[in-house]
Amino acid sequence: MNLPPPAYKAIAMLKRSKLDIKSPNRRKPTSFTHCLYHLPPCLVPPVCIPFLIRTFKDIISPCGPSLDPQPGQRARQWPEGEMKTPQMIRDSPVPLLLLLTGVCINGYKPVIIVHGLFDGPKEFQTMFRYINKVHPGTEVKVIDLYDNLSSLKPMWMQVQGFSKAFNDIMQKAPDGVHLLCFSQGGLICRALLSMAPDHKVHSFISLSSPQAGQYGNTDYLKRVFPDFVKKTVFRICYNRVGQKVSICDYWNDPHHRSRYLQSNSFLALLNGDRPHGKIKAWRENFLRIKKLVLIGGPDDGVITPWQSSHFGFYDSNETIVEMRNQEFYRNDTFGLKTLNARGDVSMCLHSGVKHVQWHSNYTVFRSCIEKWLT
């Protein structure tokens, strides 16, 4: 259990107590502290309930109204303008008491993180710290699959592998989860959501992900295909061999649209660019999310065009066509237009952020991510 620092201090104080309820000569408890000593979390014997009630009598619970006063007593009222702020609550013993007694606990939903191309869990240690700094105790799961060079394996193979881990985590979270997916991982996550009829994802946060495809000369392209440039990559990507490399599965060459529609086995299906028998079911599944958060910016340097992170993309003249004018949006093939009409699409743009910095930039976290992880 991850507790805020004041809680650990309180626990240390309890353990330094001279009271010993484990003694064979122990008496009935004489205080709430006495009751808590040596008790496992969320287990309070009935004899301790009076102390619990007395302890909470003069504080305002962050989970609801205070207890009624005793006859002849006035209810505690805070002076005008004075409130229990989150900081006051966090630095008080209230969270410890709530955690130890299991009373009125409203925890944060677990966060599942899916990494991107050439990445792995270690790249998200900073993000893990950010989340637990503002939302202490949040369970953060960075799925450790297809790391580094293994991230080049076919996208559908990765989706299948991530699916089991994704479902295992969700089954243990009855109140739902949040999904934070970076770069290539954003496409993997969208495929997961499309194929999961019973998923309980609240916020799907797409962090600098090529949602509308990729078409650009970048360092990543050179690492995968050192002898090719963007104008010639279609020759290797749009065939059976190329479709066994992840980056080819979302390579969207605007000058060879017909080849893309005919040969692409991943993005063309996911975006509904090419009709298929599961398109209606996938759309319904994707629309189960409560919020879609699209994050990107002009200085990314990898996602090309960077507007792809916001579902924009090139036309045949390499002019940007923004999301609302994309064919998959107008036809609402996978539910994007419906989500936007619901008011459940949030776009966040930040300049000055390189691709490898998105998951470690605190400004991006506070302004684009934090509020969607409650």
- Catalytic residue IDs: 183, 300, 355
**Is 144:114 a contact under the CB 8 Å cutoff?**
no
Cis peptide before 305 (omega within 30 of 0): yes
Q: Which residue, among 302, 310, 311, 228, has the nearest Cα to 271 in the 3D structure?
A: 311
Compute CA distances 65 → 56, 68, 244, 364, whole Å: 11, 9, 58, 35
The Cα-based distances of 317 to 226, 298, 321 in angstroms read 25, 19, 10
> How far is the C-alpha of 95 from the C-alpha of 297, rounded, in Å?
38
| Token pair 């629309």: residue | 287
Length of the chain: 374
Burial 80-99 (b: 16+ CB within 10 A, else e): eeeeeeeeebeeebbbbbbb
User: What is the per-residue burial (b if ≥16 Cβ within 10 Å, else e) of 127-160?
Assistant: bbebbbebbbebbbbbbebbeeeebbebbbebbe
Cα gap 365→373, rounded to integer Å:
11
Between CA 167 and CA 198 the distance in angstroms is 10
- Spatial contact of 20 and 36, defined as CB atoms under 8 Å apart: no
Closest of 120, 327, 148 to residue 246, by C-alpha: 148
Strand 111-114, strand 320-321: pairing: unpaired
Helix (H) or strand (E) holding 71: none
